[in-house]
Amino acid sequence: MATAIVSFGFRHGKEIPCQTGVLVIDVRKAFDRNPYRDKSLRYKRGTDLDVQKDILKTPNFNKSYAQLKEKVEDFDGVVYLGCTGGHHRSVYLALRLSEELKIPVLHRDIDVK
């Protein structure tokens, strides 16, 4: 099982470790419902309940989440979950996985503008 989860945003251009023991997962396609597009959610985060409810409306959420969870459970190392800005989808998914699997989580870009 993964040893830690890091949420991040691709658009920030920060380096993502590409080495043994690191798995980078782009959640933008599987979880394509982006709360940023809703002006009322844009400046909130994946820690906010209304953002979480919006993400749960993603078509096939349960199937995509089950596949994501399986990848995290099967990987031995640090998992990086990335979305566009690192504020909504990656944060919520990292939080949920962290709680369910009892894995530490870090939100690298949650406060980056």
pLDDT tens digits for range 13-61:
877 777 789 999 999 999 999 999 999 999 999 999 999 999 999 999 9
Domain residues of the chain, as ranges?
A: 4-107
State residue 13's pLDDT score: 80
Helix locations, 1-113, DSSP H: 49-55, 61-74, 89-101
**Whole-angstrom Cα distance, residue 66 to residue 30?**
11
Q: Are 82 and 24 in contact (CB under 8 A)?
A: yes
pLDDT in tens, 1-20: 899 999 999 998 877 777 78
State residue 8's pLDDT score: 96
pTM above 0.75, yes or no: yes
Region 95-112 average pLDDT: 96
